[in-house]
Amino acid sequence: KQEVTQIPAALSVPEGENLVLNCSFTDSAIYNLQWFRQDPGKGLTSLLLIQSSQREQTSGRLNASLDKSSGRSTLYIAASQPGDSATYLCAVPAEGSSNTGKLIFGQGTTLQVKP
């Protein structure tokens, strides 16, 4: 059964720092991996999607990498800003190499960027 773990659970940094969020998964046979952002009491916003054949994806100040063989992904946030404060979730398909749409989520990293 696939399990997704995220560390750290919480992170507080001063504005301007570069930071790395970690996600690990137990079954490396994944179709893709997705990073989401969740603001308090809100739904999820997709940040980056990495297909199983890809090593990384970039969007603005965000860069996500994927190492399937080791079961790990990292989300790198450059030059963090207070507006980046949110909970970041990673998710993989529940049925491994299939893309049924069912996702298993990590417990998230709650990020606070202080001005």
Partner 1 sequence: GAVVSQHPSRVICKSGTSVKIECRSLDFQATTMFWYRQFPKQSLMLMATSNEGSKATYEQGVEKDKFLINHASLTLSTLTVTSAHPEDSSFYICSARKNIQYFGAGTRLSVL
Question: What residues line the site for partner 1 (CB under 8 A)?
Answer: 34, 36, 41-46, 49, 89, 91, 94, 100-108
Least Cα distance to 47 among 73, 72, 12 occurs for 73
Q: State the minimum distance, in angstroms, from the CB of residue 18 to partner 1.
A: 25
Q: What are phi and psi of 107, to 5 degrees?
A: -85, -5
**Are 77 and 86 within 8 A, CB to CB?**
no
Q: State the minimum distance, in angstroms, from the CB of residue 58 to partner 1.
A: 16
Nearer CB in complex with partner 1: 50/77 = 50
**Are 23 and 72 within 8 A, CB to CB?**
yes
Q: State the minimum distance, in angstroms, from the CB of residue 26 to partner 1.
A: 15
Is cis: bond before 8, omega within 30 of 0? yes
Nearer CB in complex with partner 1: 101/115 = 101
DSSP, collapsed to helix, strand or coil, labels residue 44 as strand
Q: State the minimum distance, in angstroms, from the CB of residue 11 to partner 1.
A: 15
Nearer CB in complex with partner 1: 40/115 = 40
